Amino acid sequence: MNQKSNTFLETEPIGALMKKYAVPCIISLLVAALYNIVDQIFIANASYLGSYGNAANTVVFPLTVVALAIAVMIGDGCCAFVSISLGANKKEDAHKSIGSAVLLCVILSLILTAIYLIFQEQILTVFGGRVNDETFHHAKEYFFWITVGVPFYMFGQAMNPIIRSDGSPKFAMISTLAGAFTNIILDPIFIFIFKWGMMGAAVATVAGQILTAVLSIWYLCHMKAIQLEKSSFGIHGRLVKKYIPLGICSFLSQISLVAAMAAIQNMTLKYGAKDPIFGQTEYAQIPMAVLGIVMKFFQIVISISVGMAAGCIPIVGYNIGAGRKDRAKGLLTRLLIAEAFVGAVALLIVELLPKQLIGIFGAANESSYYTEFAIRCFRIYLCMMVLATVNKAAFIYLQSIGKAFLSTMLSMVREVLFGVGFALLLPRFFGLNGVLYSMPVSDMLTFIISAIVIAYTYKTLSTDQEASAAETTADTSIINTSTRLNKEGAR
């Protein structure tokens, strides 16, 4: 096979590579996040939907994350494995792992779609859909059409990191952008002109997802560093067992987020009903709607954070495979600094401009309670975003250097032990505010653990680097001694 090489990942400056790979990945993830956020903006500003439609969108959102979790498990795992394989010059493993990832994604997406369609009402109830009848009606309508698009959504999201691993981060970005622009164009047409309501928002989203999936299929037929063959497509168990563990962290970070959102949304439903204001029927949907909006802003920030870290996976993986751990260490330093900066900027925005943020989501059409609760929610729930972005970078970096188990455990501790645990515990003492406190408390405790792991990772990479240098020195010494002895023998 005549294939191009990715050796530039070992030779080009780290900063230039980070920019080349991370920026398109950030944009891709931001655009993916915008699918749901754009829906929510247009829904919020449609007077016949308003906070009821917003609350319905919040209820359905975690269920789209389940689909995303499965997709990124396959895509990110395959991306890391392909990068390491190319670095070690194992091209057959690379193309067969991609072929198996394609089939695995299609099969699992069809299974998930069937489950969603069969158990629709039960699933929506678990995620707080029955806050009131109007919200539940909108949630069912939105969920049905979103479910129809699940196979296309999962395929596009799974192929995105695989396309990056082939050395085409820009195409990965363009395919996602094309779908998002389609959604942005169709949303106002379907919601405001055709008056299709929640169905219109969902159909616009699915149309964009189909376009992204089609572009991904086209790319698979025109890959650069990897050439797919007929033999590529099969469930190659040996390879699946290798790349799925590398994607488990991505899966658990998303699926555990779903568990946390389920806990948060149910506690919001329970303790909102006990609140003097939100216990009233006409205001019951406000906490759910507002919390969903705040989560969407957080998703934008985390998309940038994850995009920077995930964009570096091919760079780190290739250099680890090629034995260049010094470059992997240098990249970690740059990544942590960049992540902290993103968190700091986001923190300033939510603390200084919460009223302006909520205004984007139809606050002018709602009661004053809507705006007041939103300001409180932004300022409390997101007050530890600097730590949240650094934590996320640590999880993904560990994944990229092949430490899947450690990465997975950290992610589980953050989202399940802390995220779910505090969401269930703190409201017992602080009521509805306890739901808001659960996020910053979880991020603070996780950061303590992450700091220890980051320090250990630095030490490990330094030790490996020193050992490699010592080995090289020893080899050079042996060669020099041998050369000297040969010369003396010749004399």
In a domain, 233, yes or no: yes
Average pLDDT, integer, range 167-196:
91
In a domain, 491, yes or no: no
Q: Which of 76-90, 293-307, 432-446 has the lowest mean pLDDT?
A: 76-90
Give residue 482's pLDDT.
47
pLDDT for residue 435 is more than 80: yes
Q: SS3 letters for 256-315?
A: HHHHHHHHHHHHHHHHHCCCCCCCCHHHCCHHHHHHHHHHHHHHHHHHHHHHHHHHCHHH
Report residue 480's pLDDT band, with 50, 70 and 90 as the boundaries: low
**What Cα–Cα distance (Å) separates residue 10 from each residue in 17, 80, 181, 317, 367?**
10, 15, 35, 10, 57
Q: Which residue has the tokens 């004399």?
A: 491
Average pLDDT, integer, range 185-210:
95
Give residue 396's pLDDT.
85
- The larger pLDDT score, comparing residue 237 to residue 69, is at 69
Residue count (the chain): 491
| Domain ranges, residue 32 | 12-466
Q: What angle do CA 144, 150, 152 make, to 5 degrees?
A: 135
Name the most confidently modeled range: 75-89, 373-387, 406-420, 459-473: 373-387
pLDDT for residue 419 is more than 60: yes
How many other C-beta atoms are found inside a 10 Å radius of the C-beta of residue 95?
22
pLDDT for residue 478 is more than 70: no
In a domain, 5, yes or no: no
Total number of domains in the chain: 1
pLDDT for residue 81 is more than 70: yes
Average pLDDT, integer, range 144-157:
96
Average pLDDT, integer, range 89-100:
85
pLDDT for residue 466 is more than 80: no
Give Rg (Cα) of the chain: 24
pLDDT in tens, 243-259: 888 887 778 767 877 88
How many other C-beta atoms are found inside a 10 Å radius of the C-beta of residue 241?
9
In a domain, 251, yes or no: yes
In a domain, 486, yes or no: no
Q: At what angle do helices 14-44 and 169-188 cross, to 10 degrees?
A: 10
Across the chain, mean pLDDT equals 86
Q: Is the pTM of this model over 0.85?
A: no
- The larger pLDDT score, comparing residue 338 to residue 247, is at 338
In a domain, 193, yes or no: yes
| Separation of alpha carbons 146 and 143, rounded Å | 5
In a domain, 473, yes or no: no
Average pLDDT, integer, range 451-465:
82
In a domain, 348, yes or no: yes
Which of helix, strand or coil describes residue 64? helix
